[in-house]
């Protein structure tokens, strides 16, 4: 049964123009279809909405602003009897609410419709229209599944499933477990899971129930209510609560000031009446009647009751129980689906249930929501481990996999929330990578590709929230997301040369977002987790470098949609080998481009019968071996900048010019750097004999030499020469604009670095007395104040970190600023800064000077044998026996003898293939010879292992000079 009472002059009781001084049976609208039951009522200032069990809505009362949502008969201004709202007949409405002159309705799909007065924006349509006569869907809530709405005088509030039952706009309610909300004209009341009531807003009429003269800001608990509350409702300036245990309805507040209808008094004060409602509904007025729900309006209150046959289940009913429940996965459903027999009615029902859950982002997210008590400030709102386990269990059944595939593809992925400001709504983007169907080869394109496209279409706000969610993930779950998108990229590599390759771009763009999130999270994952190793050694890299350089030249004139995929725009996917190959291909492209341009000009001039010759397409450098350093620096200072980016061809004066396959150039850099980095030359200082070199604070050579040394370092890199220059890692950090740290100082000067670490580790309060350190340090034989008057400022536990930071900054930056900048200027005269940013400092160091990752067994395994030599030849067997007995220093000496360098390229030992060549005219009295350009060892046949050892060591000890025997 349903009851109503209060004013009815506008027909808002549905009783004509009659009023009711006490509870009377109310009408529910036309009987056909709706039946006689009433599911819910909502009251505005002068209008009412009645929701029937079949999901239809009737309205009655005033319609001045279209708040009834339906047209009245000609000449009518009010609806005195409830009539159905035809515009909503296609929807199954599950919840309604009324404001002063506007109305809201929620359908079973979680969509919200609004109509009536909208001048204050209360309709949520983005417009401020005076009125809207027909119910319209609120598009701004389309990404959320709304389960309840409530209206104030000129405002509206919606409760979404994605919000874990906590209004996000009211931070103070985040942890109290809100299950129901209601709004008055200027106040709001919320009901919690434990039956407590919190109110906030205007308390001028006592509608908050706080019984205190001091109004506290924010939600406050109504303390005096004696027992848990089952239901609540807000009128304009009053609040009703129902406690089911004693069966009492309690009201507090008063009726609002309202104009006397048809009043004629001239004094505005005389045209209002104040209604104190404290006695309108006494606590025992409805004793003996089992209340199901209560509804409050401006002047009208409704109570729905339970029939006698429903009384057994009445104890547990609460407002939350009346709300539309969202479908979600639980243990019962999982067991049911796994155990169902194909073809049965239960099978068809299971398919419908799968369709419901896996078609809806909200349903799938709700299935794995964590309880509010488990949520922290940066916590992920869903249980990803539970999701992973459940998906693994479900996808063992083929028919379930087929159903999941279909509904993910047709409904869920197209319906992903792209503009939601709520973490819970966006958690679907974290759940999908945990589902194993996303990783199947046939699903990578339709599923993962579309997911990537959706992520790239997200609003900036939603994208930022998703990025923060990624930052909060543990390594295991973040890596799952990364590997999913990487696998999709790999599946597209065969199409790199086709127009279809553009489909790879959204995947790479998402990986870039993930890479950025990982960096902001202080590298939850190692950089190698993002590497796509399948790119290395393929035709893709040289082509990609060409695409990249062409795109850079035309970036301002071409549309992004017309640009093919370019991996160089996403260098974080390159492993070290790929980065090195890209760098080398780029150098070759520049060098060969200069040659092609010269050849074109030459042919063109021939056709035009011109005698002009093009600019020389290489960089020829002829130097004196006897005065190598000074002659090189002098000639280098005369070279134009453009020449530096051409292929370097070195010739020593007075020596025969032949085909240089790299050996002469390699020898040139070997001898040149060996002399320039020698402490006796004076350009660099060493803290001790085993430490790397660094710039002096007071250089003894002119500043220009550091500029030219930078050019030489750039030239060796540009021409793909591994030259051992004993710089520390710090120099490569600085070249890549990264700060050196205390760890770098430990490498440069282990003694100083260790001392500073001990300062940081010192935990006792007597640091000043015991250590007696001041902001004055000794470096490179100079006493320096790190701050003004530093010698008189002691280091203590409060400033020791600052002291260490300033010490490190002085050594690596301030003390060498001028000459380092000269070195850097020369270095980047040759090299492209942008492509070097592909590398991490350690990687750039390995590319420049190689590494010491020796694998001598692989060295033997990769050997190539020519002529009579085979692995079983006696001379070869003796050679390897002797070689493996050498010391590490001797083996490195042999490597220097064979290749011109004792360092290993970044590609590893596989790049060094020793080629054994017998020399038919050489006797065993000759020592072995080497052609460093091709790694060829000319090895005579020796009769004994002793003879071979003697000659081999002699060759190693005399490895100075190119091709000497």
Burial class of residue 769, CB neighbours in 10 A (0-12, 13-18, 19+): exposed
231-234 and 238-243 strand pairing? antiparallel
Q: What is the largest CA-CA distance in the chain?
A: 134
Taking each helix axis as running N to C, give the angle between helix 398-407 and helix 345-358, from 0 to 180 degrees, rounded to the nearest 10: 40
Is 687 an annotated catalytic residue? no
Tokens of 511: 């990986």
Q: How far is CA 802 from CA 351, 748, 760, 782, in A?
A: 65, 20, 10, 21
Task: Tell me if 670 sits within 8 A of 899, measured CB to CB.
Answer: no
Q: Which residue from 139, 138, 57 is spatially nearest to 98, judged by alpha carbons? A: 57
Distance CA 847, CA 580 (A): 7
Q: Which residue from 600, 20, 653, 599 is spatially nearest to 300, judged by alpha carbons? A: 20
Rg (CA), the chain: 41
Distance CA 387, CA 373 (A): 19
Distance CA 240, CA 765 (A): 64
SS3 at position 500: helix
Secondary structure letter of residue 206 according to DSSP? S
Task: Tell me if 103 sits within 8 A of 114, measured CB to CB.
Answer: yes
Residues 6+ apart with CB under 8 A from 240: 232, 233, 234, 249, 250, 251, 281, 294, 296, 301
Residues 6+ apart with CB under 8 A from 457: 418
Q: Residue 955 phi/psi, 5° resolution? A: -65, -40
Q: How far is CA 572 from CA 59, 427, 516, 533, 838, in A?
A: 61, 26, 10, 11, 7
Task: Tell me if 457 sits within 8 A of 418, measured CB to CB.
Answer: yes
Distance CA 11, CA 48 (A): 9
Q: Which residue from 360, 290, 296 is spatially nearest to 324, judged by alpha carbons? A: 360
Distance CA 168, CA 336 (A): 36
Taking each helix axis as running N to C, give the angle between helix 704-718 and helix 841-849, from 0 to 180 degrees, rounded to the nearest 10: 80
Please give the distance of CA 757 from its chain centroid, rounded to a whole number: 35
Task: Tell me if 493 sits within 8 A of 507, measured CB to CB.
Answer: no
For 231, the enclosing helix (H) or strand (E) is: strand 231-234
Tokens of 372: 């509010």
Residues paired with 651 in a beta bridge: 622
- Contacts of residues 582-587 at CB distance under 8 Å and 24 or more positions apart, as own/partner, are 582/541, 582/544, 582/545, 582/835, 582/838, 583/835, 583/836, 583/838, 583/839, 583/847, 584/720, 585/541, 585/542, 585/545, 586/545, 586/549, 586/832, 586/835, 587/718, 587/719, 587/720
Active-site residue, from 10, 469, 568, 933:
933
Tokens of 417: 């929330």
Distance CA 504, CA 449 (A): 8
Active-site residue numbers? Answer: 933
């Amino acid at each position: 049964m349903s009851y109503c009472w209060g004013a009815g002059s506008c027909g808002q009781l549905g009783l004509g123009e009659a009023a009711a001084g006490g509870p009377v049976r109310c009408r529910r609208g036309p009987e056909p279809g709706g039946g006689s039951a009433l599911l819910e009522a909502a009251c505005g200032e002068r209008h009412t909405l009645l929701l029937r069990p079949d999901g239809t809505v009737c309205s009655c009362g005033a319609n001045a602003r279209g708040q009834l949502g339906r047209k009245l008969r000609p000449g009518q201004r009010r609806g005195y009897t409830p009539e159905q709202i035809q515009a909503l007949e296609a929807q199954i409405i599950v919840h309604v609410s009324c404001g002063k002159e506007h109305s809201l309705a929620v359908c079973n799909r979680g969509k919200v419709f609004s109509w009536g007065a909208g001048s204050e924006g209360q309709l949520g349509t983005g417009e401020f229209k005076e009125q809207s006569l027909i119910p319209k869907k609120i598009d701004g809530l389309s990404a959320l599944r709304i389960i309840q709405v409530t209206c104030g005088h000129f405002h509206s509030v919606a409760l979404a499933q994605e919000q874990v039952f906590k209004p996000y706009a009211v931070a103070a309610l985040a942890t109290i477990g809100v299950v129901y909300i209601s709004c008055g004209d200027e106040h709001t009341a919320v009901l919690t899971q434990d039956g407590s009531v919190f109110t906030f807003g205007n308390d001028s009429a006592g509608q908050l129930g706080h019984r205190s003269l001091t109004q506290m800001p924010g939600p406050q608990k109504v303390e005096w209510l004696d027992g848990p509350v089952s239901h609540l409702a807000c009128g304009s300036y009053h609040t009703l609560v129902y406690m089911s245990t004693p069966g009492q309805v309690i009201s507090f507040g008063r009726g609002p000031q309202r104009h006397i209808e048809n009043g004629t008094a001239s004094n505005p004060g005389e045209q209002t009446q104040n209604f104190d409602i404290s006695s309108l509904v006494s606590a025992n007025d409805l004793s003996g009647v089992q209340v199901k729900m209560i509804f409050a309006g401006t002047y009208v209150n409704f109570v729905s009751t339970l029939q006698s046959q429903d009384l057994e289940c009445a104890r547990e009913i609460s407002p939350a129980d009346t709300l539309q429940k969202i479908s979600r996965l639980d243990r019962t459903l999982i067991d049911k689906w796994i155990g169902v027999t194909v073809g049965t009615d239960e099978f068809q029902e299971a398919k419908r249930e799968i369709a419901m859950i896996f078609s809806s982002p909200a349903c799938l997210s709700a299935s794995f929501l964590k309880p509010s008590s488990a949520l922290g400030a940066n916590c992920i709102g869903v249980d990803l481990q539970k999701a992973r386990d459940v998906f693994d269990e479900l996808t063992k059944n083929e028919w379930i996999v087929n159903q999941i595939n279909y509904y993910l593809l047709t409904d869920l992925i197209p319906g992903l929330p792209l503009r939601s400001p709520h973490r819970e709504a966006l958690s679907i983007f974290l759940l999908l990578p945990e589902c194993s169907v996303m990783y199947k080869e046939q699903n990578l394109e339709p599923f993962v590709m579309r997911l990537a496209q959706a992520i790239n279409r997200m609003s900036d706000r939603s994208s930022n929230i998703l990025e923060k969610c990624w930052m909060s993930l543990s390594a295991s779950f973040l890596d799952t997301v990364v590997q999913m998108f990487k696998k999709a990229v790999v599946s597209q590599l065969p199409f790199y040369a086709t127009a279809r390759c553009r489909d790879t771009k959204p995947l790479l763009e998402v990986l870039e977002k993930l890479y950025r999130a990982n960096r902001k999270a202080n590298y939850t994952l190692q950089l190698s987790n993002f590497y796509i190793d399948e790119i290395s050694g393929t035709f893709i890299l040289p082509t990609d470098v060409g695409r990249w350089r062409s795109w850079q030249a035309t970036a301002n004139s071409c549309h992004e949609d017309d640009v093919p995929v370019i991996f160089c725009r996403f260098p974080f996917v390159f492993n070290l080998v790929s980065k090195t190959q890209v760098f080398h291909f780029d150098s070759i492209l520049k060098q060969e481009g200069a040659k092609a341009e010269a050849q074109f000009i030459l042919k063109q001039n021939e056709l035009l019968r011109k005698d002009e010759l093009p600019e020389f397409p290489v960089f020829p450098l002829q130097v004196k071996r006897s005065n190598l350093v000074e002659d090189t620096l002098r000639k280098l200072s005369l070279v134009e900048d453009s020449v530096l980016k051409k292929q370097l061809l070195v010739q020593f004066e007075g020596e025969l010019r032949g085909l240089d396959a790299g050996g002469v150039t390699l020898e040139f850099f070997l001898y040149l750097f060996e002399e320039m980095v020698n402490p006796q030359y004076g350009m660099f200082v060493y803290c001790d004999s085993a430490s790397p070199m660094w710039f002096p604070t007071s250089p003894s050579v002119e500043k220009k030499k550091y500029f030219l040394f930078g050019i030489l370092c750039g030239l060796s890199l540009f021409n793909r020469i591994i030259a051992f220059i004993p710089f520390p890692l710090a120099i490569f950090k600085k070249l890549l604009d990264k700060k050196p740290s205390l760890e770098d100082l430990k490498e440069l000067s282990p003694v100083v670095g260790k001392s500073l670490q001990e300062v940081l580790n010192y935990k006792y309060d007597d640091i000043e007395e015991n250590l007696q350190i001041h902001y004055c340090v000794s470096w490179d034989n100079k006493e320096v104040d790190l701050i003004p008057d530093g010698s008189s400022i002691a280091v203590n536990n409060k400033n020791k970190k600052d002291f260490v930071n300033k010490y490190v900054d002085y050594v690596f930056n301030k003390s060498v600023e001028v000459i380092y900048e000269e070195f850097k200027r020369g270095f980047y005269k040759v090299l492209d800064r942008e492509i070097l940013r592909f590398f991490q400092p350690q990687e750039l160091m390995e590319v420049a000077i190689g590494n010491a990752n020796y694998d001598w067994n692989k060295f033997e395994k990769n050997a190539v044998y020519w002529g009579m030599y085979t692995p079983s030849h006696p001379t070869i067997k003796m050679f390897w026996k002797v070689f493996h007995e050498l010391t590490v220093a001797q083996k490195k000496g042999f490597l220097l003898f064979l290749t011109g360098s004792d360092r290993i390229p970044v590609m590893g030992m596989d790049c060094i293939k020793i080629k054994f060549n017998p020399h038919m005219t050489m006797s065993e009295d000759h020592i072995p010879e080497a052609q460093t350009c091709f790694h060829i060892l000319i090895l005579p046949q020796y009769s004994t292992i002793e003879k071979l050892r003697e000659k081999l060591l002699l060759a190693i000890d005399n490895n100075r000079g190119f091709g000497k025997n």
